[in-house]
Amino acid sequence: MTPEQFIIEKAAQAVKELYGAEVPSSLLQVQVTRKEFEGDYTLVVFPLLKISKSSPEMTGKAVGDYLKGNCPEIASYNVVKGFLNISFSEIYWHSLFKAIAASEDFGQLPATGKTIMVEYSSPNTNKPLHLGHIRNNLLGWSVSKLLEVNGHRVMKVNLVNDRGIHICKSMYAWKVLGNGETPQSSGKKGDHLVGDYYVAFNDLYKKEVEQLVASGMTEDEAKRNAPSLKAAQEMLFKWEQGDPEVVDLWKTMNGWVYEGFAKTYEDLGISFDRTYYESQTYLSGKALVQKGLEMGIFEREADGSVWCDLTSDGLDRKLLLRGDGTSVYMTQDLGTAEQRFNEYNLDEHIYVVGNEQNYHFQVLKLILGKLGFGWADNIYHLSYGMVELPEGKMKSREGTVVDADDLIEDMCRTARETSMELGKIENMSEQEQDSLFRMIGLGALKYFILKVDPKKTMLFDPKESIDFNGNTGPFIQYTHARIKSILRKAAEKGIACGTDSLDLSIALSAKEIRIIKMLNMFPAKIAEAGDAFSPALVANYAYDLAKEFNQYYHDTPILREENEAVLRYRLVLIENIAKVLTKAMSILGITLPERM
């Protein structure tokens, strides 16, 4: 039972005893006491005035007197206008902490019975994953874990955009420039090799446009008529017609990319319950387009293209099929949405996609509703801000992105250099060191990205993220390792600690009560973060808890405590700080080391 629930239950008893009235719990409002007032939690008295038929001050005093006289858990109270500020006694804090320490699944919320699908990653097969994809993947995976802790059944899915003009551009460039190059012959990771040809296509295309403009075409005409673009468009058409040569090349180059993606996902600790491929789903979208035409929702133009007119909804006309019959992203998103809701009976579907696609998902939801799907309102676009670098935005087609694989290795290398400088790796084998550096490097990367509210554009600074001080992953990792070191030293001295050894009569310091309060906040923070789809709330809670421990440790010489009962209590207290930090950071996909 939370402190809020405890006060509500006892206050309801007080109202019944004092005024002979049953009061619904929804009428009783309890909140954390504001810092400028004395107290732990505050009961809002105003809703009770119709029952008490008295002033706010008198009603607050009557309820306060009842609570203090009948509940040993209440130490004192004060009334400020219509607010009853309540201070708990040590009896309450002891019982609350004992319950926290005894709970193996503390923070795990009850099962809801809801099934939620989270789609994230959704890469194109024409380039390797980059820093922007890292934010997408980390956010999608972490939101999935957060929803699981909130009691939902979660399906983590990936939709690979494995067809379309983008992959045809890489295919064409490889065909005319590649000379049979493969990942094996070049020593390059498959997704990097294909990405190089995407950049090569763009270089070739630019030159052709410049030549056509020089020959007298306008720039727009040149962009439409560049030979390389027309060849790529022809490839796309042939692919949709099942041309064997084009399909074979497509399978080969996509295979290279999938192997590369799998390695990056493994390094990031990212996984999926199912992977969808656009090449297997776009036809179902075409069937929905035909259904919309029959319903009179869509309209076919003279050139054969199909559109949905959304001007009456305050939007514009949306293309659903091109004149040559080829589909667009919207086509396949319509089809996959129907397939997934039918297949898994979803209660909700979350798309983790950058904010540049806000309009796309607004249209998707609207069109699905027009097609008669009642679940269209259960689609949610988790729109996140872009990741920028100190030098500006990234551009894939120009090859000016921060590659995900390079970044992961850079973070691990920086973790090694920083740890060596600080001398934090004494008495560790080389294998243990390598494992630790990777743990710290990935922890720094994940935490730095996930501590930012998803909706915000963020500036990524690798050097700042690896700092062992401040609001960083390594700071929390080091805090956990410090707690584990204290517990090991206690064990070496033969000091065992456990919930059964807690002496509930010892005096608690103000800092210890504050830590118990913070530990108790964890389930509520999990629920708040789940409602907001924001791992940032969990990340910053973990930082605040780690910071609170470090201040406590600075002021409290734990292992030098002579009173054995106090010593054991403090060991259990910090052990539970470590337990909650581990659970919080696991939601972010971050491992906390035992030693640093």
What would the pLDDT profile of 356-388 be if each residue is shown by its tens digit? Answer: 999 999 999 999 999 999 999 999 999 999 887
- Cα Rg, the chain, nearest whole Å: 30
- The answer to whether the CB of 522 falls within 8 A of the CB of 549 is no
Examine residue 196 and state whether it is found in any structural domain, yes or no.
yes
Q: Is the pLDDT of residue 501 over 90?
A: no
Q: Across-strand partners of 290?
A: none
Whole-number pLDDT of residue 400: 54
The single-letter code of the amino acid at 191 is: D
pLDDT tens for 530-584 read 999 999 999 999 999 999 999 999 999 899 988 999 999 999 999 999 999 999 9
- The answer to whether the CB of 53 falls within 8 A of the CB of 35 is no
Instruction: Check the CA dihedral 323-324-328-331 and report its sign.
Output: positive
Whole-number pLDDT of residue 399: 47
Examine residue 104 and state whether it is found in any structural domain, yes or no.
no
pLDDT tens for 284-317 read 888 899 999 999 999 999 999 999 999 999 999 9
Count of CB atoms situated within 10 Å of the CB of 321:
23
Whole-number pLDDT of residue 467: 76
CA distance 333 to 41: 48
Q: Is the pLDDT of residue 396 over 50?
A: no
Identify whether residues 443 and 565 lie together within a single domain. yes
For residues 400 and 151, the model is more confident at 151
CA distance 582 to 528: 19
Q: Across-strand partners of 153?
A: 115
Q: Across-strand partners of 458?
A: 387
Q: What is the mean pLDDT of residues 158-164?
A: 91
Identify whether residues 419 and 364 lie together within a single domain. no
pLDDT tens for 446-487 read 999 999 999 999 888 777 777 778 899 999 999 999 999 999
Q: What is the mean pLDDT of residues 193-218?
A: 95
Identify whether residues 154 and 178 lie together within a single domain. yes
Instruction: Check the CA dihedral 282-283-288-290 and report its sign.
Output: positive
Count of CB atoms situated within 10 Å of the CB of 113:
9
- The answer to whether the CB of 539 falls within 8 A of the CB of 447 is yes
21: domain CATH number is 3.30.1360.70
CA distance 342 to 49: 51
Whole-number pLDDT of residue 279: 86
pLDDT above 90 covers what percent of the chain? 81
Identify whether residues 159 and 221 lie together within a single domain. yes
Structural domain span for residue 519: 411-587
Identify whether residues 243 and 363 lie together within a single domain. yes
Q: Name the one residue in this structure whose structure tokens are 């939709």.
A: 159
Whole-number pLDDT of residue 421: 77
Whole-number pLDDT of residue 398: 47
CA distance 348 to 350: 7
The pTM of the full predicted model, rounded to 2 decimals, is 0.90
CA distance 582 to 188: 37
Q: Is the pLDDT of residue 328 over 90?
A: no
Of 66-70, 314-318, 392-396, the range with the lowest mean pLDDT is 392-396
Instruction: Check the CA dihedral 531-535-538-540 and report its sign.
Output: negative
- What is the full DSSP assignment across 497-540? --GGG--TTSPPPHHHHHHHHHHHTHHHHHHHHHHHT-HHHHHH
Q: Is the pLDDT of residue 324 over 50?
A: yes
> Which residue, 17, 29, 10, is CA-closest to 92?
10
Q: Is the pLDDT of residue 152 over 50?
A: yes
The domain boundary, picked from 398, 428, 455, lies at: 398
Examine residue 217 and state whether it is found in any structural domain, yes or no.
yes
